[in-house]
Amino acid sequence: MLQNKGFSQTELLDSSYQIIFKIHNVSREKVMRSYNFYVQNPEWIDKMSADVLEELNKMER
C-alpha cells in the first residue's frame, strides 16, 4: 500500500529497521558490530543456537 503512495521498498525497510532499533534501544552500528562478530565467529552462533534448543527442549518436557 505504501509503495503505491511513492515509498520505495528501501525506504520502507529502513523505516521498519528504525522502529525496531528504537523499540529495542539499540543503534544500527551496534547491530552491525554484533552481526560482523558472528559472521567472523560462526562457532559462537552455533553454540548459542544449540544452547537455546536445549533450553526449549527442557521447557517442552
Which tens digits make up the pLDDT trace of 26-51? 999 999 999 999 999 999 999 999 99
Q: Report the pLDDT value the prediction gives residue 11, as an integer from 0 to 100.
A: 79
Q: Where are the domains of the chain?
A: 3-60
Q: How many whole angstroms separate alpha carbon 11 and alpha carbon 15? A: 6
Decide if 50 contacts 56 (C-beta within 8 A): no
Sign of CA dihedral 37, 41, 42, 43: negative
Q: Which residues contact 45 (CB under 8 A, 6 or more apart)?
A: 38
Q: Is the pTM of this model over 0.75?
A: no
Predicted local confidence at residue 61, as pLDDT: 85
Higher pLDDT, 61 or 29: 29
Give the pLDDT of residue 13. 83
